[in-house]
Amino acid sequence: MESYPPLFRNPTANLDSIPTRYPNLDLPIINLAHLDQAQLGEACRELGLFRLINHGIPSPLAAQLHAESKRILSLPFESKRAGLVGPVSYFWGSPVVSLSVGDVNWLEAIHAPLGKIQEVGDDLGLCSSFRSLAYHYGLHMARISKTIFDALLTDLKLDTEVSSSYLHESDGILRVYRYPCCPETMKYLGMVAHTDSSVLSILNQVDVGGLQVLHNDQWFNVEPISETLVVNLGDMMQAMSNDEYKSVEHRVLASGSKERMSLCYFAFPKEDAVIVNSKYKAFTYKEFSAKVREDTKLYGYKVGLEHFMVKKQT
């Protein structure tokens, strides 16, 4: 319990709590080694997410990164908060101080911008091994995201020259999430419902479930399957596709009996990349992310693409 943020320390967790039952969602399975462009495009139009197999990430690398992340996140809370200050940093709950306690995400995380991962910034030496593992894991993530993105550009028939700045895979972000046991699973969520601001998000889950996606106005479980990744589209991909693809809304349930950990990579456009299509006013990712920060401070949530939609004439 010493490793948990103070709010999360409660020795009376209800280990016998029975979570609300939700149906499981069968996701399309995409084989990266033999990429079927038509199948990939259909998955992005229908659901906005899919499972990825034969992705080429060495199992020992993912296992070592998971173990090292677990070691760091199991350190005393004050050690993590004081020692992880950049470029690899630590956060927990919600950074938005205006939110009520009930809106806090029941999680803590390591935030690693992969473009800066090799910079020295860990004065206490907490994560030198993590940086090396994350760097090599990030190389695989960049390869995977670029392969998928190029296939999506072809499917959408987008001009490759125009869209060359739409993915900046080498500057992606890796986040390692840890979801502590929660004594009040009816009051808190591991992560509140949201869409990602990314182009693509690539999730490597451990064997503890909790991820859910909203489909046809109903929540579904996305069960973890060994050796597979879950890829979902973010807001930037929806905008680039002129709403042909979906940015999927998802959340993570809190658990009263088991901790959950996951590795998640986010790929973004270049900050000055101008996204142009008929349904949205031209905007850059920098403008979008600034608006997200502004909305989150004002309202406690992201409004997102709605700000940039072309208003219909009446």
Residue pLDDT, tens place only, 197-251: 999 999 998 888 899 999 999 999 999 999 999 999 999 999 999 999 999 999 9
Q: List, for residues 241-297, the tens digit of each pLDDT value.
A: 999 999 999 999 998 888 999 999 999 999 999 998 899 999 999 999 999 988 887
In tens, the pLDDT along 124-175 reads: 567 888 999 999 999 999 999 999 999 999 999 998 777 789 999 889 999 9
Percentage of the chain lying above the pLDDT 70 cut: 91
Task: Answer yes or no: are the C-beta atoms of 238 and 55 closer than 8 Å.
Answer: no
Pairing state between β 49-53 and 29-31: parallel
Mean pLDDT, to the nearest integer, of 97-110? Answer: 71
Q: Rounded to whole angstroms, how far apart are CA atoms 131 and 142?
A: 16
What does the pLDDT read at residue 31? 98
Q: Is it the case that residue 108 has pLDDT exceeding 70? A: yes
Identify the residue with better confidence: 235 or 299: 235
Query: Residue 9 has what pLDDT?
Result: 83
What crossing angle do the helices spanning 128-156 and 59-73 adopt, rounded to 10°?
130
Closest CA to 261 of 33, 34, 67, 61: 67
Mean pLDDT along residues 50-66: 97
Q: Is pLDDT of 17 > 80?
A: no
pLDDT tier at 14, thresholds 50, 70, 90? very low
- What's the whole-number average pLDDT of the chain? 88
Any idea what DSSP says for residue 146? H
Q: What is the pLDDT of residue 160?
A: 79
Model confidence at 306, pLDDT cuts 50, 70, 90, reads: very high
The predicted pLDDT at position 201 comes to 98
Residues 6+ apart with CB under 8 A from 114: 134, 135, 138, 141, 142, 170, 171, 172, 173, 174
Q: How far is CA 216 from the centre of its chain?
A: 21
The residue type found at 179 is: Y
Tell me how far apart the alpha carbons of residues 288 and 275 are, in angstroms, rounded to a whole number: 10
> What are the sequence ranges of the domains in the chain?
6-271
pLDDT at 15: 42
CA distance linking residue 252 with residue 208, whole number of Å: 11
Provide the pLDDT confidence category of residue 314 given band limits of 50, 70 and 90: very low
Helix locations, the chain, DSSP H? 37-46, 59-73, 77-83, 128-156, 235-240, 285-299
- Residue 16 is predicted with a pLDDT of 41
Confidence tier at 98 by pLDDT (50, 70, 90): very low
Q: What is the pLDDT of residue 28?
A: 97
Q: What is the reported pLDDT for 96?
A: 52
Distances (CA, A) of 62 to 108, 127, 137: 19, 16, 7
Classify domain 6-271 by CATH number: 2.60.120.330
